[in-house]
Structure 1
Amino acid sequence: MRKLLMIVFVCITALAQAQLTSKEEVAPELAAKREAQKKEITSNYLALKNNLIASDSLAVITNATALQNSLKNFRFKKLSLEQMNEAAKTRKEIIALAAEVTSTKNINKQRRIFQSLSVKFWELAPKFKAADTDLHLQMCPMTSAEWVSDSKEIKNPYYPKNMLTCGVVKASL
């Protein structure tokens, strides 16, 4: 009986050690994949903003579609159930707003939708922000319209012809 217990103990210990080693080997890969997802989400949002600055409505549609797709694949981590539900709800709203952007080629309508999308995006920006990225919440003081940028330099996506550099940095991550 003792030998049997000893064999079971050795097997369980070996199995536990194998699982621990497996987790140690996989964790960096998963962390890298998650960082890549965060970069993709942020890049898609920033490309959308930059194409609004360039007044390229077709590129805006492409970026809004890419943003939707990257958000659909993202899973939140380390949140309470209440926080998870709130984050999932906000993500769903961002996806719906991005879909709304893709439904029109009118750049002014795209900009109006982008205002709401930017407010929602900033709510989740701490979850989407890649470790090596700085994000800044910027605002046009004339209209109170907000957007997120990876630079402190102001480039207003709402009025690029008349007020390109009009704005202030409200917050940073």
Structure 2
Amino acid sequence: MIRKYTLMLIASCFYLGALAQTSSKTEVATPELVAQRELTKKDVVESYLQIKQALIVSDSLKAASSATQFVNSLTKFKFKKLTLEEMNNATGTRAALKELAKIVSSTHNITKQRKAFVEMTDHFWKIADKVKPLNTPLFLQMCTMTGETWVSDQEKIENPVYPKNMLTCGMIKAKLD
């Protein structure tokens, strides 16, 4: 009896999950909703880029405050038009990003911030195509000496991980238009 009830409960959860996924795909996108979504995407990307810029100039206080803004922006962002598997992956990636950003925001040790930022970038690039605002190219850049990556909205290389010794060390590894 308990097993039958458990199976029915599991089946109804799958049905509700599929129903929720279907209803979000059929949501009518009004111009206002589209504009609001683009603003949220812009906030996510800009706050990430502000962390990067703060690390380039070794401003740990600005990196911490920008990381807090990044967490807030990510929290507001809603993924759209994804399969259940893609949604699970994207929300897991967002959770990991938020935890790493909280590390950046909770310390003023620039070395720890940079280490967390490198990990953040790996996760951020996984969802970059979903959070990238329209008409904003994003570049995955890599330090050729260390292999560490970061995302930029410009082709110009400015290494946030080793700005003193390797500010211009790097190359463009990938691009999202």
Q: TM-score, normalised by structure 1?
A: 0.85
Deviations 1:64-113 (A, max 9, x none): 00000000111100000110011000000000000011121110110011
> Is residue 2:67 matched to residue 1:56?
no
Find the counterpart in structure 2 of residue 127 from structure 1.
130
Q: Say which SS state the counterpart of residue 41 (structure 1) adopts.
A: helix
Q: Distance in 2 between matches of 1:110 and 1:100?
A: 7
Q: How many residues align?
A: 150
Q: Distance in 2 between matches of 1:128 and 1:99?
A: 19
> Is residue 2:49 matched to residue 1:46?
yes
Q: Distance in 2 between matches of 1:103 and 1:33?
A: 29
Find the counterpart in structure 1 of residue 86 from structure 2.
83
Deviations 1:2-36 (A, max 9, x none): xxxxxxxxxxxxxxxxxxxxx97x71000000000
Out of 96, 112, 117, the residue aligned to residue 115 of structure 2 is: 112
Out of 137, 144, 148, the residue aligned to residue 145 of structure 1 is: 148
Q: Distance in 2 between matches of 1:108 and 1:96?
A: 17
Find the counterpart in structure 2 of residue 166 from structure 1.
169
Q: Point out 4+ residue stretches in structure 1 off by more than 2 angstroms.
A: none
Q: Say which SS state the counterpart of residue 121 (structure 2) adopts.
A: helix
Q: CA deviation at 1:141?
A: 1.1
> Is residue 2:37 matched to residue 1:29?
no
Q: Distance in 1 between matches of 2:170 and 2:92?
A: 29
Q: Distance in 2 between matches of 1:32 and 1:103?
A: 32
Q: Distance in 1 between matches of 2:74 and 2:95?
A: 9
Q: CA deviation at 1:43?
A: 0.3
Percent identical residues = 51
Structure 2 residue runs of 5 or longer lacking an equivalent are 1-26
Q: CA deviation at 1:171?
A: 0.2
Out of 95, 98, 102, the residue aligned to residue 95 of structure 1 is: 98
Q: TM-score, normalised by structure 2?
A: 0.83
Out of 46, 69, 73, the residue aligned to residue 72 of structure 2 is: 69
RMSD: 1.2
Q: Distance in 2 between matches of 1:40 and 1:103?
A: 20
Q: Distance in 1 between matches of 2:147 and 2:64?
A: 24
Q: Say which SS state the counterpart of residue 147 (structure 1) adopts.
A: strand
Q: Distance in 2 between matches of 1:92 and 1:27?
A: 28
